[in-house]
Structure 1
Amino acid sequence: MGLENDFLAMDADEEKTIEFIKNYLPQELKEKFDDDELCYFLDLIDEYYVESGILDAEPDAEGYINIDLEEVVSYIVKEAKKDEVGEYDPEEILFIVQGEMEYGDSLEEQA
């Protein structure tokens, strides 16, 4: 039963993240990406963090880890094309990556 609750909690968090990103996007992009695409992008962001070693990086003196957003965007664009999901404009994907980071920051501020 505990594992099922973990999955439900992850789904709820993903839904909150997607809603935050939708509100974060500029007006012209709000209707461009559906929930499935945003979920796919979030999965790719997580995949990038795992594969890049960022999760193992040591924070700087202020407690931050430097993440190159352009590298994250490049990874998403490359993987989406490779997976035949579609070709995406890096400038548009950057808003999604920034939105995901802003959501993470907002959670830290609430804690």
Structure 2
Amino acid sequence: MTYVISPSCVDVKDRACVEECPVDCIYEGARMLYVHPDECVDCGACEPVCPVEAIYYEDDLPDSEQEFLAVNAGFFDDLGSPGGAARVDVADRDHPLVAALPVAG
């Protein structure tokens, strides 16, 4: 199980969750943040600090946002598991589903 960042984060990227994460498993894409499913230790520190309530425990992800479980995992298909977000730059890309969303106004 893991935590998942939902579409509420798109074009917001507050980063409070990044600062709170003790294992540095939240990576930054061009338009949103992503939780690495293999690096997350399920501590839940990220969830209460998100100002837009975009972070859910996998089992609590609303039905309407279930596709974001695959979106978060899919973001890492090319990146792999670098062992912490601090080891990589901000990605200039997003998962294709996120990239296709309208830009928030």
What TM-score, normalized to structure 2?
Answer: 0.30
Larger of the two Rg values belongs to structure: 1
The structure richer in strand per residue is: 2
What TM-score, normalized to structure 1?
Answer: 0.29
Structure number with greater CO (CA < 8 Å, separation at least 6) is 2
The structure richer in helix per residue is: 1
